[in-house]
Amino acid sequence: MRVLETVAAFREARRAHAVLGFAPTMGFLHDGHLSLVARARAENPAVAASLFVNPTQFGDARDLLLYPRDLPGDLAKLERAGVDLVFAPSAQEMYPPGAATRIEVGAIAEVLEGASRPGHFAGVATVVAKLFSIVAPTRAYFGRKDAQQVAVVRRMVVDLDLPVEIVACETVRDPDGLALSSRNARLSPAGRAVAPALHRALLRAQAAVAAGARDAEELRAAMREALAAEPLIALDYVSVADPDTLAELDRVDAPALASLAARIGDVRLIDNLPLTPKTP
Residues 2-31, interacting with ligand AMP (CB under 6 A) = 25-26
Q: How many residues make contact with ligand AMP (CB under 6 A)?
A: 17
CA distance 276 to 255: 5
Q: What is the 3-state secondary structure (H, E, C) of 234-273?
A: EEEEEEEECCCCCCECCECCCCEEEEEEEEECCEEEEEEE
Choice between 35 and 126, CB closer to ligand AMP: 35
Choice between 46 and 127, CB closer to ligand AMP: 127
Least distance in angstroms from the C-beta of 222 to ligand AMP: 24
Report whether 188 contacts 265 (CB < 8 A).
yes
Residues 81-100, interacting with ligand AMP (CB under 6 A) = none
Residues 176-215, interacting with ligand AMP (CB under 6 A) = 179-182
Of the residues 17, 39, 117, 145, which one makes contact with ligand AMP according to CB under 6 A: 145
Strand ranges in 98-247 using DSSP code E only, listed in sequence order:
139-143, 165-169, 233-241
Q: Which of 17, 30, 33, 199 is catalytic?
A: 33
**187 exposed, middle or buried (CB, 10 Å; 0-12, 13-18, 19+)?**
buried
Choice between 208 and 272, CB closer to ligand AMP: 272
Least distance in angstroms from the C-beta of 203 to ligand AMP: 16
Choice between 36 and 194, CB closer to ligand AMP: 36
Report whether 144 contacts 171 (CB < 8 A).
yes
Q: Give the bridge partners for 237, in sequence order.
A: 261
| Residue 199 annotated among the catalytic residues of the structure | no
Choice between 177 and 277, CB closer to ligand AMP: 177
Choice between 17 and 144, CB closer to ligand AMP: 144
CA distance 46 to 16: 10
Q: What is the 3-state secondary structure (H, E, C) of 20-71?
A: CEEEEECCCCCHHHHHHHHHHHHHCCCEEEEECCCHHHCCCHHHHHHCCCCH
Least distance in angstroms from the C-beta of 235 to ligand AMP: 20
Interface map 157-176 toward ligand AMP (x if CB under 6 A): ------------x-xx----
CA distances to 116, 128, 198 from 256, rounded to whole Å, are 21, 25, 18
Question: How would you list the strands of the sheet with 139-143, edge to edge?
Answer: 2-4, 85-87, 47-51, 21-25, 139-143, 165-169
Report whether 81 contacts 34 (CB < 8 A).
yes
- Residue 163 identity (one-letter amino acid): P
Of the residues 81, 135, 142, 270, which one makes contact with ligand AMP according to CB under 6 A: 142
Residue 127 binds ligand AMP (CB under 6 A) = no
Least distance in angstroms from the C-beta of 26 to ligand AMP: 4
Residues 31-60, interacting with ligand AMP (CB under 6 A) = 32-33, 35-36
Least distance in angstroms from the C-beta of 12 to ligand AMP: 25
Active site residues: 33
Instruction: List residues near ligand AMP by CB under 6 A.
Output: 25-26, 32-33, 35-36, 142-143, 145-146, 169, 171-172, 179-182
